Every structure is written in structure tokens, then in C-alpha cells.
Amino acid sequence: MSDADENPARVTVELSGAADDAGSVFGVLEAVYASDRDGSPAPAKASSGPTVWNGVFDTARPAGGGPGGTPSLSGPVSATVQGGYVAVDQIVTVLSAAFAVTEEGSASGDQEKDVSLRLENR
């Protein structure tokens, strides 16, 4: 059972890319929604090999702010967003305001969906 089955406002976001880029993407989302990453440090630099960064965001709990400034990525970031339909759409909308977003695929279930995205600088 996923978080979305228990709480349709919760969305799991998985990112692959450089640590600084993951920190930039999570920073945008943390400015808007409460997260299990709140107060935690930026992702640490990986020693080698691919790394996946993970965060859970609660779209029912606004953080009280909005993305500030223009975030910058050093290269493309792959993102997988999973949760309830409305919550996933809200996360994608926030990401689309900050980055150029290309949907690379999606899968829909009874109560949740998964969306694969490619994020790049605008």
C-alpha cells in the first residue's frame, strides 16, 4: 500500500541527477508544501554511481510560501511523481512554474498515478 492509498494528498517524488540539482528541485517543492525533508540538509554529494533522491510532499499542508527566484539546474533531472491524481497534478504544476517540464510517460491506477518527467532550465 502506498502513501497515496492512505492519504491522497501525499506525493512521493524521486529524482535522479546531481545532488545540487536535486536540492534545487526539492527547494522549489519545499517552499510550497510540507515535506518529510523539512529541516533536513540538502542532499549530500554522491561518491560515485547513479543516485536517487526521495521526498514525500503533502499537498494538503501548504508551507506558506512560493518558489523564490529562478532555480538553476546543471543538467536534466529525471523525476518520478507518484500519488493521488489531484496531488500529482498540483506537484507537476509547481514544477512547471519553475522548470521546463517534459512528460516522458505515465501510468494510472484506480486511486493514484505515476508520472515520469524530465526537468530542465527554462
Sole residue written with cell 521546463: 100
Nine cell digits for residue 30: 519545499
Task: Look at the chain and report how many structural domains it folds into.
Answer: 1
The residue segments making up the domain with residue 38 are 3-120
Q: What is the pTM of this model?
A: 0.85
Nine cell digits for residue 7: 492519504
The predicted-structure confidence for 26-78, as pLDDT tens digits, reads as follows 999 999 999 987 555 455 555 566 688 899 999 999 887 766 677 899 999 99
Nearest to 114 by CA among 88, 76, 77: 88
Q: What per-residue confidence (pLDDT) applies to 2?
A: 47
pLDDT band at 21 (very low <50, low <70, confident <90, very high): very high
Q: Are 26 and 73 in contact (CB under 8 A)?
A: no
Q: What is the CA radius of gyration of the chain?
A: 13
